[in-house]
Structures are given as structure tokens and as C-alpha cells.
Amino acid sequence: MQELTLLLKKYFGFDSFRPLQAEVIQRVIEKKDSLALMPTGGGKSICFQLPAVYLPGTAVVVSPLIALMKDQVKGLTMNGIPAAALNSMMPEGERQQLRQQCLQGKYKLLYISPEGLLNELDWLLARMEISLIAIDEAHCISRWGHDFRPEYAQLAVVKERFPHVPVIALTATADKITRLDIMDQLKLHDPQLFISSFDRPNLSLAVHRGLDKKDKLAAILRFIRHHKDQSGILYCMKRVDTEAVASLLTTNGIRAAAYHAGLSPSQREQAQDDFINDRIEVVCATIAFGMGIDKSNVRWVIHYNMPGNIENYYQEIGRAGRDGLHSDTLLFYSLGDLVLLRRFAEESGQNEVNMDKLHRMQRYCETDVCRRRILLNYFGEEAGQDCGNCDVCRNPPQQFDGSILVQKALSAILRTDERIGMQMTIDILRASGRGDLLQLGYDKLKTYGAGRDLPFKVWKEYLYQMLQLGYVEIDYANGQTLKATPSGRKVLFGQAQAVLATYREPEEVVRAAEKKEKKEKKKRPAAPSPQPVRIIEANSPEETLLDALRQLRRRIAQQDGVPPYIVFADDSLQEMAQKKPLSIDAFAGIRGVGEIKREKYGKVFVALIRHVVGK
Ligand code: ADP
Ligand code: ZN
């Protein structure tokens, strides 16, 4: 094990293993099979890359996405580990040359697509010395998983052909049936299952609901300004929204692009490439974006609409903070989303399952207990305590007796014979005087203007709460009109009390949370998995240094033709800005600095740090 730890530092610049990495690696080295389940960013790659370095021969890594392979090959090469990817896009001459090099044992790792593997089985792979076979995104083999790929189905052949080569299957998503199915389909020999916690404590969680479009866009702008120069992804349900938000951001001086299936492949590639290389900060995307990019320094994810289920939501927010540094996530949710998602679920052919998943997603959004607990619980994990890093924990809701508000709303709803939706209910309460309201004679109602004292958005929030508490329900089949429920009637007739949570401005929530976070950062105990890194304060000398380090990283990345995060991850730069290493030896102690990077970049980085701190 000690030797492995030394190799980890030498090649990857890390001092210690993440949870389960060492156990999985040990198993591979003993030439035994395993299935490793780790969340995105959990550090799956090291589980096969390190044994590949340690064992004689070449590790064969099966991966479905060319972009991901390329990325990993670049990263390995930069760390002095010879690696290559064999893919069908290469001209035959080049492939031939690569095969020869493989036979000479030039590579420690060879990445290959599942089809490629099947093609090369009889000739190339039969002749190579294979140290281990890693099957990435292994859930693609299972029809139970959400991402079945037919070309994965034939991978059982691997174990038949190479019974003595250890196979390690890896995935970030697999429920119980899928897990068993993976081990079964791959015909693994006596496999050991490794499951690491799905918790991502470095991701903050927050939900804002019921904002109208204008307020939502304003909140997004504030959020992004607060995350100046940081990479982020904004997910929208509709293509038009990706374009609208991207153009709004652009007019506000934020470098952003849209990404959706309606764009040409070259436009999409351009957006992805610009994002990976930090030429743009924000991608506004439909869900099509994110698969197959490994960018470790995505600092935030916003959901412009509510996702249809928790699996998708978790996978999407999981694209932030792979490097273990603090990252923020924010979800906007409205009744409109819900109506649309219900329709999708109904039309999906798997009505019941999808509707149930949608309900669970909605409950997550509406909860007043720690959101992380709900997420972990959903994935079958027990959270021992509240997380302290979600909006509910940071700002527990404050309750008050809202019976009168419920009575006002319900009486408006009942006096109009339950024929009105949320908008009209509020307009009646606030005496808006809009045309159709007057035409219908709603201004004659006793409740007209009974809720003038509260702004529109506050009423909206309280109506959401009434829905959530079951005083009111939505008739989806009938133009989303509101209906009074039996428990709502009880409140109306004074037989029960309604407890609501005080409305707070989203801005206020954000600010209060930030203040509290700053205070807590000083006393917060070490985060469970990633090493805690102190966050650098805005406008501090450290931030000036960090900016300079980023610029240097970008210059080097351009020169070497790789994405900046492959030169150094964000956490390495942060550590440099904090520790300010003034010698090569001190520089070598920074996380992510292996031997090759010390040699290659030590001098320039130390020189820059000396220059900035004036020594
Ligand atoms: P996954 O494939 O599970 O999504 P990766 O293998 O891409 O995750 O690793 C996520 C990030 O964590 C990468 O930036 C990687 O360099 C970093 N990492 C992995 N193992 C360690 C470790 N032992 N110590 C520090 N950082 C690590
Ligand atoms: Zn919490």
C-alpha cells in the first residue's frame, strides 16, 4: 500500500486516497473482479489508472464517449503516464501505427470504445499483455439502467476471452437491480461490490419557487455576478429558453452560449469546447449537455426549470464541484414546470413510474426539512444529521398562523365556483382590476381586494404552501383551476388552524445564507470526503494571486493545447494561492503536483508567486 501511495503522489500529486479508492485498487492488484459505484467526482478514474501504472502490461479501458477518452488521455500524458485512445474516427493508417505501438507495450493505458474492443479482440487484444480491463459507465450494459447501449451488451465476451485478467466495472448510477444485472451480464468472477456514499457535501443545495420570469432572470443575474469568472451550467427544459437566457447573459457582459439538440454538431462542439477551455463561463443547455465532459472546475449549476426526477437532478448538479471544492446549485420551480412535466409523464408510456418520480421530485422542492437528507434517503442512504449546506438548514423556515390568509384565498376560490387559477385568485385578492376580471364581475365579490396588503409574489408563495399543505388542489384536467379540499374547508370554517412559513425574499435568503456561511467556514469541521479547502475571500491579496495563477494556467493550457483544468485543477491553484510556495520543493507539496508537473511548471509558477508576493 505504501508503494501505491508513493505512486499516487508521484504521478497524480495526491497525498492520500479518497474513500474506497485504496480498497478497489487492492482488489484489482490481486487480480480479482469488482464493481465500483461512486458518485460523479468520487474519483473513479484513479481506481484503474493507478493499478495500470503499478501492474506490468497495458490496461484496457472501455468507455462510450470519445470526448471523455481524449480528456483522460491528455490528463494522463500530462502526468507522464503513456496512454492512448483507439477510436473509429481515426484514419486507418494512424490506427495501424497505434496497434504496433500497443504491441511494443508502449502504453500503460489504452482507451477503446465497446465496438472497438469487439473489433480488436481477435488480433490486437489477443497479442497484447493486458494488465486489467476497466469498463467505465458500466450501467450502459443494463436494460434496467436509464442509459442502455446495445454495443455494451456484448461485453460479456471480455471475461470469456480473458478469464484471468481482472475486470473492474465502474458507474455513478445504478440502483439495486441494475447493480446485479451489471455483474451478471459481464459474467464477473466472484465480484466484490464497492459502494461509496453518494453524498456530495461540497455542493450547496437551494430551491426558489414561484418567481415570475422577470424575477427569475434577475435572480440568475445576481447569482452569476456573485460567481464572477466561474464556470457554470444552466439547465433549461426548452430550447428557446437556453437561447433567451444565453443572450440575456451576453448582453450583461457574461460570456455564455446556448447548447441544445437543435444546433448543428459544429455549433455544439464549439460551445462545449469554449466551455471546457474557459473561453466562456456559462452554458445554457437542455439536458443534452454534460454527458461526456469531465471538466472538474464547474463551480455552479442552475436549474431554470424543475427536472422530471431526482436521478436526473442529482446527475446534473453532480457536474459541479468534481474537484471537491465548494460549489453552488440552485433550482427554480414553478407551477408551469409542473404542468408541463405532468404532461410528459402522462405521455411517456410509463405513466405510473414517471408520475411517481415526478412526485418525489416535487416533494424535494417543497420540503421544509434538510434537502440533503431527502436526496440521500432517495438513494437508499441514511443521513445521520442535517447537512448545514442547504437552504433549509441555513435558513430554517419561520412559522406563523396563516389561517386568515387561507380563509381569504379559499373564499375567493369558492365564490367563483372554483373556476379560477392561481393568477386570477391573486388578482381578485389584490383587486387588480384587469379586464376579464371586471367582465366576469369578480370585482363585486366580497373578497375582492381582501388581500391588498400583500404583494403578488408573496401571495403566490402562500398559495404554493396551501397547495403543498393540501388546503387547495389543482385540477390539472380543467385548465389548472384551484379547488378547495376538505381540510381547506375546515380552515375556512374555523375548525382548524393553518400554519404557514413566513415569506422571504430570495435575495435575502441568499445573503443571509452567505453571511452565515462565512461565519461557519471559520469553525466548520473537516468535510467528510474531500480535504477541506478554505475559500478565498473576494478582494483579498490571495484573490489577486489566484487571478494571476489562473491567467498563467490559461496561457500554459493554450500553449500545450489542453483545457486549463488539465494543467492544474482549481483546488491546486487555490492551495497555491493560500500556501504561496516560494521554492520548487514547497511547490511539490501542493495537491495535484506530481513529478512531471513539478519539473515542467514548478519554475514558472514559483516565479509568478514570488513576483506577486514581492519576494
Ligand atoms: P469520477 O470519474 O468518479 O467522476 P474523477 O476520477 O474524474 O471522478 O475524479 C474527480 C476529481 O477528483 C478529479 O479532479 C481528480 O483528479 C480528483 N481526485 C481523484 N482522486 C483523488 C485523491 N485521492 N485526492 C485528491 N483528488 C482526487
Ligand atoms: Zn441540509
Q: What is the mean pLDDT of residues 206-219?
A: 90
CATH at residue 412: 1.10.10.10
pLDDT recorded at residue 84: 97
pLDDT recorded at residue 378: 84
> CB count, 10 Å around CB of 227?
18
Q: Are residues 40 and 182 in the same domain?
A: yes
Q: What is the DSSP string of 303-349?
A: ESS--SSHHHHHHHHTTS-TTSS-EEEEEEE-HHHHHHHHHHHHHTS
Q: Which amino acid is at 367?
A: T
Of all protein residues, whose CA lies closest to atom 27 belonging to ligand 1?
Answer: 43
Q: Tell me the C-alpha distance between 580 and 557, whole Å.
A: 21
> Over 50: is that where the pLDDT of 525 sits?
no
Question: Which-ligand-closest: CA of 46?
Answer: 1
> CB count, 10 Å around CB of 232?
25
Q: Are residues 208 and 338 in the same domain?
A: yes
- Sign of the four-CA dihedral 62, 68, 70, 75: negative
Residue 461, CB-side half-sphere exposure with 13 Å CA sphere: 19
CATH at residue 564: 1.10.150.80
Q: What is the DSSP string of 209-263?
A: ES--HHHHHHHHHHHHHHTTT-EEEEE-SSHHHHHHHHHHHHHTT--EEEE-TTS
Render pLDDT for 365-385 as a digit per residue (tens, 0 to 9). Answer: 988 889 999 998 887 787 778
Q: How far is CA 331 from the centre of its chain?
A: 12
Question: Which-ligand-closest: CA of 198?
Answer: 1
pLDDT higher for 413 or 174?
413
Q: Are residues 174 and 78 in the same domain?
A: yes
Give the SS3 label for residue 505.
coil
Q: Cell numbers 482488489 label which residue? A: 27
Q: Tell me the C-alpha distance between 223 and 206, whole Å.
A: 12
Task: Decide whether any atom of ligand 1 lies within 6 Å of the 323 Cβ.
Answer: yes
Q: Is residue 246 part of a domain?
A: yes
What interhelical angle do 213-226 and 506-523 show, nearest 10? 30
Q: Which amino acid is at 12?
A: F
Q: Are residues 247 and 273 in the same domain?
A: yes
> Over 50: is that where the pLDDT of 527 sits?
no
Q: Tell me the C-alpha distance between 523 and 519, whole Å.
A: 7
Q: Are residues 278 and 360 in the same domain?
A: yes
Q: Tell me the C-alpha distance between 192 and 183, whole Å.
A: 9
Q: Which domain range does residue 575 map to?
A: 527-613
Q: What is the DSSP string of 426-477?
A: HHHHTT---HHHHHTTGGGSTTTTTTTTS-HHHHHHHHHHHHHHTSEEEEGG
Task: Decide whether any atom of ligand 1 lies within 6 Å of the 14 Cβ.
Answer: yes
Lowest mean pLDDT among 58-62, 88-92, 114-118, 198-202: 88-92
Among residues 368, 394, 420, the one where a domain terminates is 394
* Number of domains forming the structure of the chain: 4
Q: Are 69 and 46 in contact (CB under 8 A)?
A: no
Q: Is residue 18 part of a domain?
A: yes
End-to-end CA separation in angstroms for the chain: 40
Q: Tell me the C-alpha distance between 5 and 1, whole Å.
A: 6
Among residues 177, 195, 213, the one where a domain terminates is 195
Ligand 1 midpoint to CA 19 (Å): 11
pLDDT higher for 382 or 158?
158
Ligand 2 midpoint to CA 512 (Å): 15
Residues 6+ apart with CB under 8 A from 441: none
Q: Are residues 183 and 302 in the same domain?
A: no
For the chain, give the number of residues: 615
Q: Is residue 337 part of a domain?
A: yes
pLDDT recorded at residue 65: 84
pLDDT recorded at residue 569: 92
Give the SS3 label for residue 357.
helix
DSSP 496: S
Q: Which amino acid is at 7?
A: L
Question: Which-ligand-closest: CA of 48?
Answer: 1
Tell me phi and psi for residue 62, to 5 degrees: -90, 125
pLDDT recorded at residue 263: 92
- Out of 120-134, 475-489, 510-524, the most confident range is 120-134
> Over 70: is that where the pLDDT of 184 sits?
yes
pLDDT band of 528, cuts 50, 70, 90: very low
Ligand 2 midpoint to CA 205 (Å): 8
Residues 6+ apart with CB under 8 A from 569: 296, 297, 323, 592
Give, for ligand 1, the residue of 4, 9, 18 to mutate: max count of ligand atoms closer than 8 Å to Cβ. Answer: 18
Ligand 1 midpoint to CA 12 (Å): 10
Q: Are 295 and 75 in contact (CB under 8 A)?
A: no
Q: Is residue 309 part of a domain?
A: yes
Atom of ligand 1 minimally distant from the CA of 21 = 23
pLDDT band of 530, cuts 50, 70, 90: very low
Which residue(s) pair with 6 in the sheet? none
Render pLDDT for 92-111 as a digit per residue (tens, 0 to 9). Answer: 999 999 999 999 999 999 99
- The three grid cell numbers given for residue 390, joined into one nine-digit string: 442547504
pLDDT recorded at residue 532: 41
Q: Is residue 509 part of a domain?
A: no
> Over 60: is that where the pLDDT of 521 sits?
no
Q: Is residue 182 part of a domain?
A: yes
pLDDT band of 146, cuts 50, 70, 90: low
Q: Is residue 409 part of a domain?
A: yes
Decide: residue 126, CB within 10 A, 0-12 exposed, 13-18 middle, 19+ buried. exposed
> Over 80: is that where the pLDDT of 351 sits?
no
Q: Tell me the C-alpha distance between 245 and 217, whole Å.
A: 8
pLDDT recorded at residue 510: 60
Among residues 335, 368, 394, the one where a domain terminates is 394
Percent of the chain with pLDDT strictly greater than 90 = 66
pLDDT recorded at residue 511: 62
Residues 6+ apart with CB under 8 A from 570: 296, 297, 299, 323, 325
> Over 80: is that where the pLDDT of 522 sits?
no
Render pLDDT for 226-275 as a digit per residue (tens, 0 to 9). Answer: 998 899 999 999 999 999 999 999 999 999 999 998 999 899 989 999 99
Task: Decide whether any atom of ligand 1 lies within 6 Å of the 48 Cβ.
Answer: no
Of all protein residues, whose CA lies closest to atom 26 belonging to ligand 1?
Answer: 14
Atom of ligand 1 minimally distant from the CA of 172 = 3
Q: What is the mean pLDDT of residues 517-532?
A: 49
Q: How far is CA 552 from the centre of its chain?
A: 27
Task: Decide whether any atom of ligand 1 lies within 6 Å of the 569 Cβ.
Answer: yes
Task: Decide whether any atom of ligand 1 lies within 6 Å of the 44 Cβ.
Answer: yes
Ligand 1 midpoint to CA 18 (Å): 8
Q: Are residues 457 and 579 in the same domain?
A: no
Give the chain's mean pLDDT. 89
Question: Which-ligand-closest: CA of 134?
Answer: 1
Q: For residue 227, give the nearest of 201, 259, 254, 260 by alpha carbon.
A: 254
Q: Are residues 405 and 553 in the same domain?
A: no
Q: Are residues 157 and 181 in the same domain?
A: yes
pTM of the model: 0.78
CATH at residue 291: 3.40.50.300
> Over 50: is that where the pLDDT of 138 sits?
yes
Q: Are residues 273 and 173 in the same domain?
A: no
Q: Tell me the C-alpha distance between 201 and 82, whole Å.
A: 34
Give, for ligand 1, the residue of 323, 327, 567, 573 to mutate: max count of ligand atoms closer than 8 Å to Cβ. Answer: 323
Render pLDDT for 540-568 as a digit per residue (tens, 0 to 9). Answer: 788 889 999 999 999 999 998 889 999 99
Q: Are residues 347 and 247 in the same domain?
A: yes
Q: Are residues 298 and 229 in the same domain?
A: yes
Q: Is residue 414 part of a domain?
A: yes
